[in-house]
């Protein structure tokens, strides 16, 4: 069998595969042709862009307009238990599309390009990474995890940990109450909803550690504030947080 015949045969097999099992980008519907493309094509992933502009250096909330970073009114009044939170972008456009496909359509392999995106946006921000010991994903309640099949924050933390050379601690921070999902609740209700919803089970694993919480999306920040509060109470030295997007 000649090389060109073999190459031709491989092409026919691949074409047949595409015809029988066509795979298309879940966002733009173009066929996935490049090696390694899964679920969302490279062109759509290339549209993920970090948000620039001023932020609150404490809670990471994006400020409108231009100018420098400055504390938001909320952090100026009462600082959260975490020392810094950073998001990659605003929850909208392609970032929102990719997160929704990842989370609700359960396409776990998307955690890899999303972690790569997070690292490219925030990898240089030493406020987040300096002397960090561990990544801790925001946990799901066991029953919700059963429904969804996976914890998207854990997958993200694992891929981010591989990129940053950081271990991922699971099972220490747990969700103890299965309150309604935050989506759809007003800000005040979100605060009430997460209160006492998280606990630390193995305080020895967090004591004296500098921890980075990992979550996919933050809206009011209620979840990461509450997780940071219980981790600090359990003896964590410092808690920081990273999210893909803020709504
Ligand atoms: Zn696409
Ligand atoms: Zn703030």
pLDDT per position as a tens digit, 39-96:
999 999 999 999 989 999 999 999 998 889 999 999 999 999 999 999 999 999 999 9
Neighbours of ion ligand 1 (CB under 5 A): 25, 27-28, 41, 44
Average pLDDT for 231-246? 98
Q: Which ligand is nearest to the CA of 83?
A: 2
Cβ contact 111:102 at 8 Å: yes
Cβ contact 219:190 at 8 Å: yes
Q: Please tell me the distance from the alpha carbon of residue 246 to that of residue 165, in angstroms, as a whole number.
A: 25
Distance 179 CA to ligand 1 centre (A): 35
Give the percent of the chain with pLDDT over 70. 88
Residue with tokens 């550690």: 209
Residue 11 is part of which domain span? 1-39
Our CA dihedral for 180, 182, 187, 188, rounded to 10 degrees, sits at 30
Q: Which of 6-10, 192-196, 204-208 has the lowest mean pLDDT?
A: 6-10
- Residue 38 forms beta bridges with which residues? 40
Query: In the chain, where does DSSP find H-type helix?
Result: 3-20, 42-45, 73-77, 93-104, 111-122, 126-129, 142-148, 152-164, 187-194, 222-233
Please give the pLDDT value at position 171. Answer: 93
What are phi and psi for residue 223, nearest 5 degrees? -65, -50
Same domain, 12 and 84: no
Number of structural domains found in the chain: 2
Distance 189 CA to ligand 2 centre (A): 19
Q: Which ligand is nearest to the CA of 40?
A: 1
* pLDDT interval class at 11 (50, 70, 90): low
Same domain, 20 and 85: no
Please give the pLDDT value at position 179. Answer: 65
**With 60 as the cut, is the pLDDT of residue 217 above it?**
yes
Same domain, 10 and 131: no
* pLDDT interval class at 10 (50, 70, 90): low
Return all residues near 108 (Cβ < 8 A) that are at least 6 apart.
102, 150, 155
* pLDDT interval class at 143 (50, 70, 90): confident
CATH of the domain at 75: 3.40.50.2020
**With 60 as the cut, is the pLDDT of residue 222 above it?**
yes
Same domain, 18 and 117: no
Digit-coded pLDDT (tens) for 145-192: 888 888 999 999 999 999 999 999 999 999 998 766 666 667 777 777
Is the whole model's pTM more than 0.85, yes or no?
yes
- Residue 145 forms beta bridges with which residues? none
Q: What single DSSP character describes residue 109?
A: G
Same domain, 140 and 226: yes
Average pLDDT, the chain: 89
Same domain, 98 and 198: yes
Q: Which ligand is nearest to the CA of 33?
A: 1
Q: Please tell me the distance from the alpha carbon of residue 27 to that of residue 7, in angstroms, as a whole number.
A: 31
Same domain, 126 and 182: yes
CB-based burial label for 127 (10 Å; 0-12, 13-18, 19+): middle
């Amino acid at each position: 069998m000649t090389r060109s015949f073999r190459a031709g045969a491989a092409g026919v097999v691949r074409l047949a595969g595409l015809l029988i099992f066509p795979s298309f980008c879940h966002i733009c519907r173009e066929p996935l042709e490049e090696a390694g493309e899964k679920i969302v094509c490279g062109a759509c992933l290339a549209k993920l862009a970090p948000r620039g502009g001023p932020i609150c250096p404490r809670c990471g909330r994006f400020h409108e307009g231009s100018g420098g970073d400055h504390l938001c009114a909320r952090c100026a009044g009462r600082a959260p238990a975490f020392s810094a939170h950073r998001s990659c972008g605003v929850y909208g456009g392609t970032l929102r599309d990719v997160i929704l496909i990842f989370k609700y359509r359960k396409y776990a392999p998307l955690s890899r390009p999303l972690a790569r995106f997070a690292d490219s946006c925030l990898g240089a921000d030493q406020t987040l990474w300096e002397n960090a010991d561990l990544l801790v994903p925001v946990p799901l309640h066991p029953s919700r995890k059963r429904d969804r099949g996976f914890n998207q924050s854990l997958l993200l933390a694992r891929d981010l940990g591989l990129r940053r050379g950081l271990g991922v601690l699971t099972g220490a921070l747990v969700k103890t109450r299965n309150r309604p999902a935050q989506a759809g609740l007003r800000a005040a209700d979100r605060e009430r909803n997460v209160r006492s919803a998280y606990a630390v089970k193995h305080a020895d694993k967090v004591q004296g550690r500098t921890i980075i919480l990992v979550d996919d999306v933050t809206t009011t920040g209620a979840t990461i504030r509450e997780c940071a509060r219980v981790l600090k109470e359990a003896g964590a030295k410092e808690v920081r947080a990273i999210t893909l997007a803020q709504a």
